[in-house]
Amino acid sequence: MGYFFRGRLHPIVMVCLTLILYLFSPCSVNADDCRRVPNILVLFDASGYMKEKDRYQLLLTQMGFFEKAMPLTADGFFNVGLRHYGLKVGMGCDNTESILAIQPWDPEKFLNAFPKTVSYGVSSLSAGLRAAADEVASVSGKSIILVVGGGIESCKADPVTIAEQISRNNPDLEIHTFQIGNSQDGSFYLKAIAEKGRGTYNIADSSNNPAFWFAWMKRYLVTPCGPSVSPPGGGKPSEIIGPVTFDNNSFSVRSADPGADSANLAALQATGQALRRNPAARVILHGFSDGKGKPEYNLKLSRKRAEAVAHFLVTTYGVAASQIGIVAHGASQAMFGAGAPAQERFGRRVEIEITQ
């Protein structure tokens, strides 16, 4: 066809046609297109405020959840860096330091970079924001800054004004905030920073498992991906199968209810066959409970249910364990409360998400 048109169309028209065909050709699409934000810089608070009431330990716990949720979100597509502010006594209001340069995601490096014991100084959130903005400006592609901490500003500066200036100078940057503790000043600053930075304000204390971070990452780091990310053949970038539902207080994929048992086996078979056909695909198993009992019990049970589905896929269909990720939600997203048996049963489920 190119030979047919070559002698009949103006060369400029030929160039335009070639460019259009290239841009819309399926071969130009790959999984990386789904990375809405390739670069992440975590800016965390290690000031005197974080020493009180074990808030720094809570930060480390949240970053552990972050680490577990990251590979489930997009197979570690991201580049991640770490910077702190308010770490060393005596360094004053300019105290901020990069402790992990923005680089391809490495969970071991990420967790080991956090100081386990620290010498706390004043909070210099404004200085941390300025330095973080300079750091992300040195990398290519869309970036975000995650501010995790108390949100306290101990120095004579206005972090909200700084965030506004940063956003104005970096239109391709977002600043998202995650508050640890319940300081009113911290809430004011972190909410305003997120607003000026085109980001979101979140309360980290309310997260007690990786599911919070997974849901946030899925929404703000990976999607929306736009219409051009569909793989060849018009398929979807991800596929939902299932769910597998469970009897009361059970984590067995087999059910005493013949109808539920048949539906479970069909969902598991479809999942196993899909993963065997495509070894590059991954499955994320989201475990849920119906909300009865204590939160700790619900979280444990939801994980056991997801693990039971994973075990069945590995032993029955030979799915590689490396293709499987698990997120335990507990009762945090139970779809129904107490009510009809069918409604309660659906709360006891594992949702199956296959990603390309």
CATH label of the domain that carries residue 273: 3.30.1330.60
Alpha-carbon distance of 249 to 236, in angstroms, equals 35
For residue 17, tell me if it sits in a domain.
no
Query: Are 92 and 48 contained in the same domain?
Result: yes
**pLDDT, position 87:** 80
Alpha-carbon distance of 256 to 259, in angstroms, equals 9
* Residue in 205, 324, 199, 230 with CA at minimum distance from that of residue 274: 324
Of the residues 168, 189, 222, the one at which a domain ends: 222
pTM across the whole model: 0.67
| Residues comprising the chain, all counted | 356
How far, CA to CA in Å, does 51 sit from each of 56, 117, 270? 6, 10, 50
How far, CA to CA in Å, does 316 sit from each of 133, 245, 254, 265, 273? 50, 18, 13, 11, 11
For residue 153, tell me if it sits in a domain.
yes
**pLDDT, position 290:** 84
Q: Report residue 26's pLDDT band, with 50, 70 and 90 as the boundaries.
A: very low
Query: Are 177 and 241 contained in the same domain?
Result: no
Alpha-carbon distance of 327 to 337, in angstroms, equals 21
Greater confidence (332 vs 231) lies with 332
For residue 1, tell me if it sits in a domain.
no
Of the residues 179, 200, 222, the one at which a domain ends: 222
Query: Are 161 and 186 contained in the same domain?
Result: yes
Query: Are 40 and 135 contained in the same domain?
Result: yes
In this structure, of 7-21, 70-84, 132-146, the range with the lowest mean pLDDT score is 7-21
Helix axes 125-136, 159-169, angle to 10 degrees: 10
* Residue in 92, 67, 72 with CA at minimum distance from that of residue 82: 67
Interior/surface letters 6-18, b for 16+ CB within 10 angstroms, e for the rest: eeeeeeeeeeeee
pLDDT tens digit string along 33-69? Answer: 444 788 999 999 999 899 888 899 999 999 998 988 8
Task: Output the domain CATH number for residue 201.
Answer: 3.40.50.410
DSSP 121: B
For residue 7, tell me if it sits in a domain.
no
How far, CA to CA in Å, does 291 sit from each of 120, 213, 248, 306, 327? 41, 20, 11, 16, 17
Alpha-carbon distance of 104 to 183, in angstroms, equals 34
For residue 94, tell me if it sits in a domain.
yes
Looking at the 3D structure of the chain, how many domains does it have?
A: 2
Query: Are 212 and 242 contained in the same domain?
Result: no
* 3 state DSSP class of 39: strand
Cβ–Cβ < 8 Å for 105, 78: yes
Query: Are 253 and 177 contained in the same domain?
Result: no
Alpha-carbon distance of 93 to 55, in angstroms, equals 21
Helix (H) or strand (E) holding 148: strand 143-149
For residue 214, tell me if it sits in a domain.
yes
Amino acid letter for position 19: L
**pLDDT, position 341:** 53
Query: Are 83 and 213 contained in the same domain?
Result: yes
Alpha-carbon distance of 101 to 146, in angstroms, equals 15
Q: Quick check: 29 pLDDT over 70? A: no
Q: What is the dihedral of CA 273, 226, 218, 28, to 10 degrees?
A: 60
Q: Quick check: 144 pLDDT over 50? A: yes
Q: Quick check: 260 pLDDT over 90? A: no
Query: Are 87 and 197 contained in the same domain?
Result: yes
Domain span including residue 43:
32-222
> In 10 A of CB 264, how many CB atoms?
24
Query: Are 318 and 198 contained in the same domain?
Result: no
Query: Are 97 and 69 contained in the same domain?
Result: yes
Of the residues 198, 222, 246, the one at which a domain ends: 222
Q: Quick check: 71 pLDDT over 80? A: no
Mean pLDDT of the chain: 80
For residue 200, tell me if it sits in a domain.
yes
Query: Are 175 and 243 contained in the same domain?
Result: no
Please enumerate in sequence order all residues whose Cβ is within 8 A of that of 335, keeping only pairs 6 or more positions apart, or say none: 288, 343, 346, 347
Q: Quick check: 3 pLDDT over 50? A: no
Query: Are 311 and 204 contained in the same domain?
Result: no
Sign of the C-alpha dihedral computed for residues 326, 329, 334 and 338 taken in this order: positive
